[in-house]
Amino acid sequence: MKDIILITGAGGLIARELAKRLEKDYTVRFLTRKKRRSDEFEWNIREKTIDESAFDGVSHIIHLAGANISEKRWTDERKKELISSRVDSADLILKTLQKKNIKLKSFISASGINYYGTKTADQIFTESDGPGNDFLSEVVVLWERAADQFKEQNLAERVVKIRTAVVLSEKDGALKKMLPPIKMGIGSALGNGKQYMPWIHIDDICSIYEFALTNPDMDGAYNAVSPQHTSNENLTKKIAEVIKKPLFMPNVPGFVLKLIFGELADALLEGSRASSEKIQKAGFRFEFPDLKNALENLLK
C-alpha cells in the first residue's frame, strides 16, 4: 500500500514537477482552489473551507502554497495576502488534522532564502544564523513558525523547512522573465548588478523535496541553494552567453525600479549568499551545482 502525500500550491511550478517524480512510489493528492481532476480537493483559505476527505489516510503533507512574492507591487493589501497565503493556509491544515485526529509522518514546508534578510553582505548565511529585519524576512519567519506548530502540537513526527532560492526553470519564474529582453538584445543587470542571487535548478529543488521525504533523519531548516554563488550581473551575462546574444544596454538604475515596483524593488536590488553545506552533509548531491551547466540544460 502506497503512502499518501497531500501537496498544496497545486498550480505552482514545483508542485507539478515534483508530483511527476513521486507518483510511482506514492499516491499523490492536491489541495487546489478549483477542482479539475479526481486527485484534486478544493479549499478556500480566505473563507477557511476545506474538503476534509483530502486528508483520509494521509501520511505526508508537502506545503507549497504561497502567493508569488514578485508578481505585484507590495501594497498593504498585497503584503497581507503574501503572509495569509502561507500562514493561514498552514493553520487551516493544522486545524483539520486536529479535528480528524491525524498524525503525519512528515510535514515538509516551503520556505524562503530571504529568511536572512534582503541585503548584499560579505557574510554567507547558514541555517544557524538568525533572521533579518525586513518585510520578506518577516514573511519567512511567520511561515516557518506556522510549520513548526505541526511538531509542537504533535501532529507530525518531523517538520522540514526548505529555504528556497530563486528557482531556475524555462517554464516559469525569474529565468522566464529575464529571457525575453535578453533575446531582444535589451537585457541588462539591475541596479549595480553586484547583488547576489541565490539560485537552484528546478530539478535540484524537486530532488531536495524528494530527499526530505525519504530521509526520516531530516528535520528543521535547510537552505535549498546551489553551492555556486552568483550575482545579478553574472547571471544576466551567463544567460546571454548561453543563448548567444550580446549585452550592450546599461544597467537598469535602481531608482527606476523603485518607481515601478516600490518596496518590492529592494528584493531585486539586494541579495545575499547562503550556504548549502547542511543539505550536502545530510547526503544530498546537486545535479546542477554549476550555473552555466544549469542554464545550458534549461535553455538548449
Inside any domain, residue 231: no
pLDDT tens-digit series, residues 141-195: 999 999 999 999 999 999 999 999 999 999 988 899 999 999 988 889 999 999 9
For residues 8 and 54, what is the distance between their CA atoms, to the nearest angstrom? 11
Inside any domain, residue 271: no
Inside any domain, residue 194: no
For residue 163, what pLDDT is reported? 98
pTM metric for this prediction: 0.95
Domain boundaries, position 65: 4-165+200-224
Inside any domain, residue 276: no
Inside any domain, residue 297: no
Inside any domain, residue 239: no
Inside any domain, residue 139: yes
Indicate the burial class of 216 (C-beta count within 10 angstroms; 0-12, 13-18, 19 or more).
exposed
- What are the residues facing 164 on neighbouring strands? 112, 224
What does residue 143 show for φ and ψ, rounded to 5 degrees?
-60, -50
Among the listed residues 218, 194, 230, the one whose alpha carbon sits nearest the alpha carbon of residue 284: 218
pLDDT tens-digit series, residues 27-51: 999 999 999 999 999 999 999 999 9
Can you tell me whether residue 43 is helix, strand or coil?
Answer: strand
Inside any domain, residue 142: yes
Q: How many structural domains compose the chain?
A: 1
For residues 178 and 75, what is the distance between their CA atoms, to the nearest angstrom? 24
For residues 13 and 202, what is the distance between their CA atoms, to the nearest angstrom? 9
For residue 25, what pLDDT is reported? 95
Among the listed residues 138, 134, 140, the one whose alpha carbon sits nearest the alpha carbon of residue 121: 134
Reply yes or no on whether the pLDDT at 252 is more than 90.
no
Which amino acid, one-letter code, is at 85? S
Q: Which three cell numbers stand for residue 160?
A: 522540514
CATH number for the domain that contains residue 101:
3.40.50.720
